Copies of this chain bind each other. A is one copy, B any other.
């Protein structure tokens, strides 16, 4: 059963193109997707998922379930980095612990998108408001992560930083206004306000090309993940274990919460995936600025070269299997 799900997940073209990317690097092919093409694909995917989410919220309306989901989303985005931080502090310094904690508290839009593609495939429905949850979960972990670092770092050391970076308000602003979140939220709002007439005109662009663009994006992710895996060779078993165990733990907690809130199977999977995924774009960019003492190749590579493939390949179908078992 479960194996069947994993297989039907893996036999999706986008996931297969992720493998193509990995393979290309391993056999030393010179295949590459130069910038800014990956940027184009990610702008497109954010636009498409935002617009569709907005459109679907109009269709379904703002129900209590929607409200509860959004509150739970923000909650998880704040709590996950806190317990992650204390686990990480066992083996790593405070800077790296804070940066990695923030990474795992935030989300990966592409993991979400891949999960939603699997659901569409299996004809399991899900709500447009899950995109709003995605948007809401991107940034809080950045703030929590920086807060934790400042709490635990001896006073003197952090002083230059504050004056340079303009303190909290600056951090908050940047966390909420990074380009990805901004485009996603804007597209969602535009999908909301332009209603059906907007949707009809955008659909051939945002809906029908979606799968193909996702294939290209995951191809590039595969190329990058395979290159990054080297960065982790020096990192020990702790870091590698964390990169795989943490997403499962977070996803399971997400599944529990979903059950409590009475979410549907589709929404529960997406919520689990949001909790279980880790950010390799927005959060690293913020951490590079706010916690330059941490090692970017460590936290990016954990999220990108281990947690991302794990979720894409086996995590998603396993979470879905668990949900199916619990829900029935």
| Contact surface of A with B, Cβ cutoff 8 Å | 11-13, 16-17, 20, 23-24, 27-37, 39-40, 43, 47, 51, 121, 173-174, 177-179, 182-183, 186, 190, 193-194, 197-198, 201-202, 204-206, 208-209, 211-213, 215-216, 285
**Are B16 and A190 in touch, CB under 8 angstroms?**
yes
- The residue that A28 contacts in the complex, of B47, B177, B205, with Cβ under 8 A, is B177
Could you write out 10 A-B pairs with CB less than 8 Å apart?
A: A13-B198, A20-B190, A29-B182, A30-B178, A33-B39, A34-B39, A35-B36, A36-B37, A204-B211, A204-B212
The answer to whether B20 and A179 have CB atoms under 8 Å apart is no
Report A202 CB to chain B, min CB distance, Å. Answer: 6
In angstroms, Cα B211 to Cα A179, docked, is 22
Chain B residues, CB < 8 A from A20:
182-183, 186, 190
Chain B residue at minimum C-beta to C-beta distance from A204: B208
Q: Chain B residues with Cβ under 8 A from A31's Cβ?
A: 179, 182-183
The answer on a CB contact under 8 Å between A205 and B212 is: yes
Given A29-B179, A211-B201: A194 touches B39 (CB 8 Å cut-off): no
Contacts of A32 in B (CB 8 A): 179
Partner of A216, one of B27, B34, B47: B47
Q: Cβ of A12 and Cβ of B202 under 8 Å apart?
A: no
User: Which of B29, B183, B193 is close to A178, meaning CB atoms less than 8 Å apart?
Assistant: B29
Question: Complex formed: what's the CA distance from A183 to B21 in Å?
Answer: 9
Q: How far is the CA of A24 from the CA of B178 in the complex (A)?
A: 9
Q: Which residues of B contact A37 (CB under 8 A)?
A: 36, 39-40, 43
Instruction: Tell whether A209 pairs with B216 under 8 Å between CB atoms, given A190-B20, A194-B11.
Output: no
Q: A11-B193, A182-B24, A197-B121 are in contact. Are A30 and B211 (CB under 8 A)?
A: no
Q: Give 18 A-B pairs besides A11-B193, A29-B179, A37-B43 with Cβ atoms closer than 8 angstroms.
A: A11-B198, A13-B51, A13-B198, A13-B201, A27-B177, A27-B182, A30-B174, A30-B179, A31-B179, A31-B182, A31-B183, A47-B212, A47-B215, A47-B216, A201-B211, A205-B211, A206-B212, A209-B209
Cα distance, A183 to B174, chains bound together (Å): 38
- CB-CB under 8 A from A205, the residues of chain B are 208-209, 211-213
Which one of A24, A121, A183, A201 has the greatest number of beta carbons of chain B within 10 Å?
Answer: A201
Are A202 and B47 within 8 A (Cβ)?
Answer: no
Contacts of A202 in B (CB 8 A): 13, 211-212, 215
The CA-CA distance from A205 to B214 in the complex, in Å, is 11
A199 closest partner in B (C-beta): B13
Chain B residues whose CB sits within 8 angstroms of the CB of A39 once the complex forms: 33-34, 37
Shortest CB distance A199–B (Å): 9
Question: Which residue of B23, B40, B194 is within 8 Å of A13 (Cβ)?
Answer: B194
Residue of B with least CB distance to A183: B31
Q: List B contacts of A216 (CB < 8 A).
A: 43, 47
CB nearest to A36 among chain B residues = B34
- Provide the bound-state CA to CA distance between A182 and B209, in Å: 23
Query: Which residues on the B side are within 8 Å of A177 (C-beta)?
Result: 24, 27-30
